[in-house]
Chain A
């Protein structure tokens, strides 16, 4: 209502202004000066909305690009040739399915306000989500822009999980699992961290203020932990790990990873929700962390195995992007370098040594990169966050090195809550889908490949 009045004022002020243009004598009176000031203020506000909205729409598009084609190419190249289309199809399908869920009830569950765990139905079916900004979240852009930007996060999170059960899950089971997972894991978790009154929200009356600038807990820990549960529940691929399951086309993965890197600027810098200096800071931190992580991963690999690999470089870059996600808008460029190099080295050990030791088949290393990188990033955010970058608690210190040790504890609680919700939620949903329609394709279908068995198509027709 307030916003509507404001818009009416802008319109009326503009008309008044036109009237004043040729009667400048009147402009000398106090009333005229006031009008003129108000008119100037409103023009400035409009200009800001225009700039912020342009940036945020661009960011929304960038984040969608991370899923398709970014993640689809990255994952598609990592699987065997007979599963390339099925893998891409999973990401692409989620672009469509989650969009519909978001429009119907996802947005309102995440960003309505009701209790610590979930939002109410105030925005159900896009009710009241239009041109007028939602002052609680992003006061300078239309709520529709905020809504569609957040939607892109809801799309990529389940798409990340598909890497864990790649090459063996039924398409129908994937579909049902993801609908339930979005509804009972993602929407509540997004509400808890970002929603008004959410349990972990740092600024909007949360019980345990957890810093998560762009989705370290909501996106990466939730998808990474769920991925591990999926991999454990559904079991190994036939032949794993005795049989070599080489990536069939690393050039596709390379292109995908580069698109992820670029798209991540929308993801992290866009999370400033305005075209301001915080966005710049997050942009720089994101870029620095990714670069340092690529180097960190490759360095460890080069020392241990004698060769710097392309897959190592691109995996490292993604690990760095994951790890900087929660802290992007809170840490300095130098802290970003440290977070990045740590993520590169640690995620390398997670995907090689740790995975081999325990023997689970997290096929495309969703847990090793997103689960581990996200957890690392969330904790390091508690250490490196500083009010010099983002005075989120007014003048009070933010992270451990800033003089607020309790934040590290809060981050730990946030991580734990995300892990529990993701693990328990995923396990129940997997069980449910398993006993109803079954999770896994038949042995024959798995050996034939999902492209033919699930979709009746092949990715490559090299002759003819």
Chain B
């Protein structure tokens, strides 16, 4: 099993979610995060005082998947979250030791 973490542009969440549903990803966790990478921040102005905002709002999605759909999931996210400009985000792939469904106690892929 793998955990796929992806940092994406907030407005592309629906596109990513639909792309993952199509390839049968069963669930997803989303959090609002802030960060910086190569995309430069933006300026905000309050009563004439300009603030450089370095941390840009992004969404982090997390999905746990069986090994065999890893390529498909990465492809789906890459395609749906891509605009081609700085700030599209990143995908991280991590190994998962085990998964337990709290309701039933099932373990491993059966718990996904």
Cβ contact within 8 Å between B48 and A246: no
| B45 located at the interface, meaning its Cβ lies under 8 Å from any Cβ of chain A in the complex | yes
Chain B hits for A312, CB < 8 A = 47
> Is A315 engaged at the interface, CB distance under 8 Å to the other chain?
yes
Contacts of A356 in B (CB 8 A): 48-49
A244 on interface, CB distance cutoff 8 Å:
yes
Say which size band chain B's interface belongs to. 10 to 19
CA A309 to CA B47, docked complex, whole Å: 8
C-alpha gap A462/B49 in the complex (Å)? 29
Cα of A241 to Cα of B46 in the assembled complex, Å? 13
Q: B48 to A348, Cβ gap below 8 A?
A: yes
Which chain A residues border B50 with CB–CB below 8 Å?
305
Determine whether B98 belongs to the interface, using a CB cutoff of 8 Å to chain A.
no
A365 at the B interface (CB under 8 A) = yes
Inter-chain contacts of A348 with B (CB < 8 A): 47-48
A307 to B49, CA, bound (A): 13
Chain A residues with CB below 8 A from B51, complex form: 244, 246
Question: Could you tell me the distance in whole angstroms from the C-beta of A297 to the nearest C-beta in chain B?
Answer: 9
Cβ of B34 within 8 Å of any chain A Cβ, yes or no, is: no
B53 within 8 A of A: yes
Q: How far is the CA of A244 from the CA of B52 in the complex (A)?
A: 8
Please give, as numbers and ranges, the residues of chain A lying within 8 Å of B22 by CB-CB distance.
none
| Residues from chain B with Cβ under 8 Å of A351 in the complex | 47-48
- Provide the residues of chain A in CB contact with B45, threshold 8 Å: 301, 305, 307, 309
Residues A311 and B52 in contact, CB atoms below 8 Å apart? no
Interface flag for A352 (CB, 8 Å):
yes
Given contacts A244-B52, A244-B53, is CB(A365)–CB(B47) below 8 Å?
Answer: yes
Interface of A is mostly: helix
By the criterion CB–CB under 8 Å, are A305 and B46 in contact? no
Q: Looking across the interface, which residue of chain A has its beta carbon closest to that of B52?
A: A244
Write the nearest CB–CB distance from B28 to chain A, whole angstroms: 20
* CB <8 Å contact, B46 and A301: no
Known A244-B52, A244-B53; contact A315-B44, beta-carbon cutoff 8 A: no
CB distance from B51 to the nearest CB of A (A): 4
Residues of B near A51 (CB, < 8 A) are none
Would you call B47 and A246 a contact (CB within 8 A)?
A: no
Q: Is A247 an interface residue (CB 8 A)?
A: yes
How close is A58's CB to chain B, nearest CB, in angstroms?
Answer: 33
A353 within 8 Å of B (CB atoms): yes
Considering the complex, give the chain A residue whose CB is closest to the CB of B50.
A305
> How distant is the Cα of A352 from the Cα of B48 in the complex, in angstroms?
5
Q: If A244-B52, A244-B53 touch, does A352 touch B47 (CB 8 Å cutoff)?
A: yes
Q: Specify which of A241, A244, A307, A311 is in contact with B47 (CB 8 Å cutoff).
A: A311
Bound-complex Cα distance A356 to B47 (A): 11
Residues of B within 8 A of A247 (CB): 46
**With A and B bound together, what is the CA distance between A349 and B49 in angstroms?**
11
Q: How far is the CB of B27 from chain A (nearest CB, A)?
A: 20
* Sample of 4 further A-B pairs with CB below 8 A, known A244-B52, A244-B53: A244-B51, A301-B48, A352-B47, A352-B49
| A-B CB contact pairs (8 Å), 11 listed | A244-B52, A244-B53, A246-B46, A301-B45, A305-B45, A309-B45, A309-B46, A311-B46, A348-B47, A352-B49, A355-B49
